[in-house]
Amino acid sequence: MLDGVPFFNYKELFLSQEEKFIEIIRDVLSRGAFIMQRDLEEFEQKLAKFTGAKHAIGVSDGTNAITLGLRASGIGPGDEVIFSSHTMVATPGAIVMAGATPVPCDVDEDGLMDATQAEKLITSKTKMLMPTDLNGRVADMMAIRKLADKAGLLIAEDAAQSLGARYHGESAGLFGAFGTFSFYPAKSLGCFGDGGGFITNDDDIAAHVHAQRDHGRGGLGSSEVTVWGTNSRLDNMQAAILSYLIDSFDENIARRREIAAKYDAAFSGISELTLPPKPGINPDRFDTFQNYEIRSPRRDELQKFLADKKVGTIIQWGGKAVHQFETLGFSTNLPQTDRFFEECLMIPMNHLLTDDEVSYVIESVLAFHNL
């Protein structure tokens, strides 16, 4: 009998395939292959193939990936970038680190950028729309592209949570100039530390980011300095782990979608809950469920009830949308996002959950609703 379900079992990420991981780590370390070695190149090739991107580049983390992409796209001081306020503070932080000004935008019912609201934020300084593909779901790119075309803006995606997600057959990260991924351990493709990915179909942006991540040098095997850069390399050992994990990543996603379908079947009769769109309900979408974020008018009570049952839950971003961080100087009024944050809660969702754990979560949520 289970006595609880953690929100994310970090140890299990390693222990689930301990022997295989030790074998990979031993192989990499005994080759002395620490930095910028073939494991990184292999992973980059697999990431490009998996997403269908012309170029994929391993970088240190999902945050720096954004900064490098902005610099490579010519975004900097004096430019405004509109981002969705329901995102990690990493998104606007990366915009600031590139020297530009982040402008928070309201979210739609699904928690992603509302293009209608984005349009109202456009000024003569706006250069780019940067939606976050949150929770494994691509933002409403048809509307966002239409707006970008009309207003002459670039698009880039913070796809940290959405590797493998698709919309109208196209991969998250490929709807604009570039897309970025995070391989933080709790992300759907997680490594054993920090890691990030960058994809683009643009040769110039790819060359620029390739150089930037290694002090402006030309890339693997080249020491020619072409641009100002930094150290934002993906560690070769993490790359080797990711290269192994990406081979079975389709199964990871399938398991997440299976759990989402179970949650949906169990909770769809509870009228006070708002659930994420059920997998498969819209044939144009393929959501990967990095998170399962529900909404309840009794959110705080529900969270406490689940905590008593030892079910781990999280209110995303510590309970605050980015524009609510007053210390960062935002004064924008975003009523749709404010309302969302009064109700949102994430329940356990990852590929490591067992059927028993999923049942335990379901029973606990049902019990709160006297079912």
Contact footprint for ligand PLP (CB under 6 A): 61-63, 87-88, 90-91, 132, 158, 160-161, 182, 184, 194, 196
Helix (H, G, I), strand (E, B) or coil at 89: coil
Residue spans of alpha helices (H) in the chain: 10-15, 18-30, 38-51, 62-72, 90-97, 115-120, 141-151, 203-212, 236-245, 249-267, 299-308, 335-343, 355-368
Q: Which is nearer to ligand PLP, 177 or 362 (CB)?
A: 177
Residue spans of alpha helices (H) in 124-183: 141-151
Residue pair 149/368 in contact by the 8 Å Cβ criterion: no
With tokens 């292999």, the residue in question is 42
Kindly state the smallest distance separating residue 167's Cβ from ligand PLP, in Å.
17
With tokens 């329901």, the residue in question is 86
CB neighbours (10 Å) of residue 319?
A: 13
User: Cα–Cα distance between 136 and 157 in angstroms, integer?
Assistant: 12
Q: Which is nearer to ligand PLP, 40 or 273 (CB)?
A: 40
The DSSP element (H or E) to which 46 belongs, if any, is: helix 38-51
Residues 6+ apart with CB under 8 A from 103: 80, 81, 82, 83, 121, 126, 332
Q: What is the CA radius of gyration of the chain?
A: 20
According to DSSP, residue 153 is labeled: -
Q: Which is nearer to ligand PLP, 184 or 263 (CB)?
A: 184
Kindly state the smallest distance separating residue 265's Cβ from ligand PLP, in Å.
27
Kindly state the smallest distance separating residue 149's Cβ from ligand PLP, in Å.
25
Q: Which is nearer to ligand PLP, 126 or 132 (CB)?
A: 132
Kindly state the smallest distance separating residue 160's Cβ from ligand PLP, in Å.
3
CB neighbours (10 Å) of residue 308?
A: 11
Kindly state the smallest distance separating residue 184's Cβ from ligand PLP, in Å.
4
Kindly state the smallest distance separating residue 74's Cβ from ligand PLP, in Å.
22
Residue pair 123/80 in contact by the 8 Å Cβ criterion: yes
Q: Which is nearer to ligand PLP, 87 or 212 (CB)?
A: 87
Kindly state the smallest distance separating residue 321's Cβ from ligand PLP, in Å.
12
User: Cα–Cα distance between 18 and 249 in angstroms, integer?
Assistant: 17
Q: Which is nearer to ligand PLP, 139 or 365 (CB)?
A: 139
Longest dimension (CA), the chain: 67
Q: Which is nearer to ligand PLP, 79 or 133 (CB)?
A: 133
Kindly state the smallest distance separating residue 32's Cβ from ligand PLP, in Å.
26
- Residue whose C-beta lies closest to ligand PLP: 62
Kindly state the smallest distance separating residue 64's Cβ from ligand PLP, in Å.
7
Q: Which is nearer to ligand PLP, 92 or 279 (CB)?
A: 92
Residue pair 167/157 in contact by the 8 Å Cβ criterion: no
Q: Which is nearer to ligand PLP, 192 or 305 (CB)?
A: 192
How deeply is 175 buried, as exposed, middle or buried, from its count of CB atoms within 10 A (0-12, 13-18, 19+)?
buried
